[in-house]
Amino acid sequence: MIVVAVTVQLAMAVRGGDGDAAFAAGDPSALTRVIRFFSYFTIQSNMLVLITCVWLVLDPMPFS
């Protein structure tokens, strides 16, 4: 679920505004939107949860 949610949000961020009108209005580049996307704490915490879940699925008893 996390992968789908973050992927959809990232696609929307990269897609940006409303085409040429948004570009003419000073819409930031796709790289700037991606950097801003990953700077949000919510996205960072979702990625941390994803990494932790994958890690636990691969090794359910990591500290034993």
Q: Name the token pair of 34.
A: 């991606």
**pLDDT mean over 36-60:** 92
Task: Give the Cα separation of 30 and 48 in Å (integer).
Answer: 24
**pTM for this predicted structure:** 0.68
Query: 62 near 35, Cβ under 8 Å?
Result: no
Q: State the pLDDT at residue 1.
A: 87
Binning pLDDT at 50, 70 and 90, where does residue 24 land? low
